[in-house]
Each structure stands twice: as structure tokens, then as C-alpha cells.
Structure 1
């Protein structure tokens, strides 16, 4: 029994020495990656066992040959243990990184949901208050002259249309996020879609003296669902008009490249801060106060670009944005017919 206690004590001493070094290393590595901590834990575990065996082997007065055999056996076991531990450590680190990314993604989504509720509440509360005031004025006959009554009716219709558009945007975004969007792709002439969207946006642009310029180019055909593609182009044009100051210009161009077809909408909005570029497609993101959209008719709520990204990605494409001199440029990449 006494020999067993001595063996245990000697092995424990060797393991504690290695463990103490490992604890010091972990303290020095605080703030490093999880893989660095896993490497230290692997080294401490394997080193403790190895140190205990070596200490006991030395204390047992083995012959040089037997001691060499023991050390070689321990070294081989240590190599295998390190290799297996490294493999599982990498998997554990990857799982931990994935979990951290998932938590960060969930945090961003939750913040996006809160921002969306705040923006939608604001965008609904203001027109609803105006509608109620005008309705009460008409009901109480506070206004009598036909011109004012007609103006109230027109403003009620405009605000109702705007809120209807907001509800439609929310429904579209919910379909995209829920994966319930069903596309019917076909070969669509991109030039026809752009022409229709420009014609629909021109009256809004004219009220603010903004020029819509369509490039004279050979427009490609794309593989897309025409209603959703029309909405993509319309939202990009309306976003450009919304942020471009009066007497500005919005350019629309398109073409083919090795990845398929592309469509670009450029404006003279003054540019987007570099820190905001990755976030412009987030739900309810409107950027800094200097880029607050001008009051034009059309969708509200900061959902237009989020819908653009969702619809483009549903088509298997992508949308990017970058700054150009005195403005910014949105580029949509879509698959060409026969690319699938």
C-alpha cells in the first residue's frame, strides 16, 4: 500500500507541475482564440500523463532498455493522443465559432425586428393621425369650400395608398424571409422591364427635377420572374430618386458579363458612408440623418432595399453597392437564360 501511495504521489507531482505550467499559459493566452486554449488543454492533458509515466518509470529503477521501451511507448501514445485531440479540437472550435456567429446573427435579426417595428410604427402613426384629423374635419364640417374638401379627399387617398404600399412591402418581406416566395422564371427582356419601371418613376422624378437617364445599350435577356424583377428595378429607381437632391441625375444601365446579366442604377446622392455600405440592405436601415429620404410618394418604412436583396437572391443572383464620385451605384447580377 505504501508503494502504491508513493507511486501515486510521484505521478501526481509530475502532473501538477505540467498542470501549473498549463494554467499559467492559459492566463497568458486570455483573449486569444478558442483554438489556442484547446491546444493548451491538449498539451496539459497529454503532458500530465506523460510526465507521470516518466517519473514513475525513473523511480522504478528500470534497466536502460526497459526505460527506453517505456518512453517510446509513451511518446507514441502521446503523438496519437495529440493528433486525435487536435482533430476533435478543430471540430469543437468550428462548432464554437458557428455558435458565436449564430448568436451574432440572431442578435442582428432581433435588432432588425425591433427597428422594423419602430420604423413601421412611426410610418403608420404619422399618416394615421393626419387621416383622422382630416376625417374629423370633414365629418364636423369644419371645412366647407369645395377646393379644400377636394384637397382633403386627395390627401386621404394618397396617404391610404402609401399605407397600403407599406403593408404590401411587409407582406412581401415576410414571404421572402419565410421561404414562401414562389417564382415562375422565364426569359425576360431586361430592357422592357427597365422601360416600364422608368415610365412609372418618371412622374415622381419630375416633381423634383431629377433626370432619369437610360443608357443606350443592348439590353440582355435574363432568367427571372417578371413581376418580382419589375419590383426590384422599381425599388432601386425609387430609392435613387428618394436620396438624390433636386436637379440631380439617376442613370440606369445594363449588360452582360461572364457571370450572366447585370443591371446598374447610379445616382448623385453624395455617397454612402463606408461603414454603412454593408448595412444598406438591412431591414429598416436608413443611414445617417444627412441621408434621410426626401418626401416623395412611394414605399416607406426602409423596406425597399431589403426586398430587393431578398428577391435578387431568390433568383440566384446578388446585389452590391459601392460609392462613385458624388453618388453611389447599385449593381444587380442575374443569371442569363440557359445558365441553369
Structure 2
């Protein structure tokens, strides 16, 4: 038997009235307690939904003039269903609350600098959020470690630069005082030594200025077609005195006939710095080999010395500004100048990258090798 329009309208109005009343009540509770937990808000919403169903059902049942027996049956059915639904809602709210508390704890730990693990509990959304938080904590930890390393390198770099500047300044001051007192037998020798110390300081300042241009992106190259053999020959000539002081032979292989487009002056400086580094750390009376090869469309220039090199853990820092490893790789004073300030290889990397290339270092069976990879044609950054 179908409901009459009047009865249908009465049912709809009763259900709507009961639902509206419970909804308004729930909204008032949530508005009066805005700082309550997510679990509390979830329980309030579920209770309001169940209350609206119960209220509507009982109201309509009363209007239908059911028998007392039928009304009791209906009330028991509604009551049991409501109770079980409330239990399910409470368990769900408790699980969500626990997952949210875990996320809050993880956020606090990330703020302290800890690395947190992803938690798969609490549902798909909570699990995804926990995984993202764990990944973020790892990235933040890596960034903090890098910042700490850079900060330590910066402090160490300034300490080294201060020392390397103070050493010639102290020498110049002492030599100038001796000349001023007139207590020297050969003034021209003191003038020559002052000039050498001033030259050392000038080279260091020039290196710092060039490095600042490389790191700021304002460095200008003047590229042209370059014969690699000419560059290597000029570099070997520049370091001849340093190599002769340690009785080191410099040989080359496979560099003839190779052309590339680069700034000849800066490319020569790259090779000079690589050779200087190798000569400083190569055993006396050994050999340094300069070679070239084509790899993956690039010209790779290698400088191989027979020294022990640096530890594998230190290889990523070899081209950092001011980096020096243990005393085995700490520059010593040479007849041709002062100890290095840890700028040579950093300048090498800057110049090579300005040419669109890259550098790397590795321990080889024959010794320690520094590689410079440059584009054979095109790809030059200006």
C-alpha cells in the first residue's frame, strides 16, 4: 500500500525536523568546544547522525500508531544498532587520535633535528603524511649536516687564509725593520726577499678575487680554438722549477693533435694548478703523467702522480674552497713560493665548470689521478 501525499509529506517533515534539531545541537557543541580533539569532534558528528536517525525513526513510529510490541522491537533494534555504531565510532576516533598524536610527536622530533621513521598505521592519509614527514626529516638532516660542514670549512678557510697572509706580512715587517735599522750587510738581498713575500701575498689576493668571480657567476671567458699540446707545454714550463726541486719528471701521452675551444690562459692555469698539486704530493724522484682521451663525447685531461693521494672518504671535498686533508696532503713550503691556501683545486673546478666541464679525483693503481672533462666543441658557458 503506497503512502498518500499527506502521509509522505508528514514523514519527510518529521525526519527533516529531527535531523535539523540534532544537527543544530551538534554544531552548538562543536562551537562551544572548538579546542577539543579531532576524536571528540568525530564522535560528536557520529552521535548526531545516529541521534537524528533514532529520533526520526521513533517519531515516525509513534505517528504510525504501532502496537506496543512492535514499538519495543523497533526500539531494541535501533538501540543495539546505535550502541554498536557508537563503539565503532569510538574505536575509529581512538585510532585516528593515536595516529595524530604520533604525527605530532614526529613533528616535534623533526623540530629538534631528529630523523623519524614512517608509521604505516592510522589509515592511508596518515600513513602518506607520515612517510612525507620521514622523508622531509632525512632531507633536513642532510641539509643540516651540509651546512655544518660548510660552516666548519668556512671557519677553517678563514683561519688558513689569515695564517697564509700573516706569514709573509710578518716576514716583510721583520725585513723592513732590519733595513730601517741599517743593520744589514746586503740590503739588496733583503729587498729581493721583501719583493718575493709581496709577490706571494699578491698571488693569494688574486686567487681570492678570481675565486669570488667564479662563485658569483661574473667570470668572463675568452674562448678560442686551442691546441692541447700547446697548453700542456706552457703549463709544464711554468712548473719546471718546482718539479726540478723535487727531481720529478713530467711526461705526457696522447695530447698531440687534440683541439678544443676554450680560454687558453685559463685552461693553462687549470693544468698548472693540477701539476702543482701533483708535484707537491708526489714522491721525490717520481714521475707525473699528463694524458688525454675521448670519453662520452668529451676530452678528458688526466694528471697522474705516484703519491698516496687522499682517503676515499675525503675525495668529495678535494675541490672545496680551502680544503686540506691530513698532513700528508698539507702543502709545504717550496722554493718557488709559499704554502698553498687550499684555493688551487677550487679554482680549477670553477674554471672547468665555466667551460661546461667537470672535474673529479680518484685513487688509481699507479697512484692518484685528477681528471678534467671538457667539451670538445660547443657547450661553452659564458
Q: Normalising by structure 1, report the TM-score.
A: 0.75
Q: Which has the higher contact order (CA 8 A, sep 6+)?
A: 1
Q: Measure, in 2, the Cα distance between the counterparts of 1:267 and 1:329.
A: 6
Q: Measure, in 1, the Cα distance between the counterparts of 2:192 and 2:283.
A: 26
Q: Measure, in 2, the Cα distance between the counterparts of 1:286 and 1:192.
A: 31
Deviation at 1:221, TM superposition (A): 1.3
Aligned to 2:263: 225
* Counterpart pick for 1:196 among 222, 234, 238: 234
Deviation at 1:111, TM superposition (A): 2.3
Aligned to 1:107: 148
> Quick check: 230-239 or 268-277, which moved more?
268-277
Q: Measure, in 1, the Cα distance between the counterparts of 2:217 and 2:132.
A: 30
Q: Measure, in 1, the Cα distance between the counterparts of 2:220 and 2:131.
A: 39
Aligned to 1:183: 221
Q: SS of the residue aligned with 1:36?
A: coil
Deviation at 1:311, TM superposition (A): 1.1
* Counterpart pick for 1:128 among 155, 163, 169: 169
Residues 214 and 253 in structure 1, CA contact (< 8 A), matched pair in contact too: yes
Matched, 1:158 2:196: yes
Q: SS of the residue aligned with 2:220?
A: coil
Aligned to 1:248: 286
Aligned to 1:328: 368
Deviation at 1:18, TM superposition (A): 4.7
Q: Measure, in 2, the Cα distance between the counterparts of 1:260 and 1:211.
A: 27
Deviation at 1:24, TM superposition (A): 7.3
Distance 1:215 1:226, change over 3 A: same
Distance 1:91 1:314, change over 3 A: farther
1:301-320 equivalences under 5 Å are 301-320=341-360
Aligned to 1:234: 272
Residues 118 and 133 in structure 2, CA contact (< 8 A), matched pair in contact too: no
Deviation at 1:23, TM superposition (A): 5.5
Aligned to 1:19: 97
1:4-153 equivalences under 5 Å are 7=47, 10=87, 11-20=89-98, 36-37=118-119, 40=120, 43-44=121-122, 47=123, 86=128, 99-143=140-184, 145-146=185-186, 149-153=187-191
> Quick check: 324-333 or 188-197, which moved more?
324-333
Q: SS of the residue aligned with 2:183?
A: coil
- Aligned-pair Cα RMSD in Å: 3.3
Distance 1:311 1:101, change over 3 A: farther
Q: Measure, in 1, the Cα distance between the counterparts of 2:201 and 2:266.
A: 20
Distance 1:138 1:245, change over 3 A: farther
- CA shift digits 1:243-266 (9 cap, x unpaired): 223212211111322331111111
Deviation at 1:17, TM superposition (A): 3.9
Distance 1:24 1:260, change over 3 A: closer
Segments of 5+ residues of structure 2 without an aligned counterpart are: 1-21, 27-43, 49-85
Residues 242 and 295 in structure 1, CA contact (< 8 A), matched pair in contact too: no
Matched, 1:265 2:265: no
**How many residue pairs are counted as aligned between the two chains?**
295
- CA shift digits 1:296-333 (9 cap, x unpaired): 22472110011111111111111111112363010100
Residues 223 and 334 in structure 1, CA contact (< 8 A), matched pair in contact too: no
Segments of 5+ residues of structure 1 without an aligned counterpart are: 48-77
Larger radius of gyration: 2
Q: Normalising by structure 2, report the TM-score.
A: 0.68
Distance 1:245 1:293, change over 3 A: farther
